[in-house]
Amino acid sequence: ILLCLFTGIRVGELCALRWENICLQDRVLYVQHTMQRIQTDMPSDQKTKVMITSPKSKHSIRVIPLPEDFAKLLASIQPESSSGFFLTGKEHQWVEPRSMQNHFKRVLQSCAIAPANFHALRHTFATRCVELGFDLKSLSEILGHANVNITMNRYVHPSMELKRDHMQKLSSLFAVK
The CA distance from 170 to 164, in Å, is: 10
Helix, strand, or coil here: 29?
A: strand
DSSP 59: G
pTM: 0.86
The CA distance from 83 to 21, in Å, is: 9
In the predicted structure, residue 175 carries a pLDDT above the cut 70: no
Q: Looking at residue 47, what is its pLDDT?
A: 81
User: pLDDT band at 90, cuts 50/70/90?
Assistant: very high
- Written as one letter, the residue type at 172 is S
36-55: pLDDT as tens digits: 988 877 766 778 888 999 98
Classify residue 31 as exposed, middle or buried by CB count within 10 Å of its CB (0-12, 13-18, 19+).
buried
107-166: pLDDT as tens digits: 999 999 999 999 999 999 998 998 888 999 999 999 999 989 888 888 877 778 878 887
- Written as one letter, the residue type at 142 is I
Answer yes or no: are the C-beta atoms of 113 and 120 closer than 8 Å: no
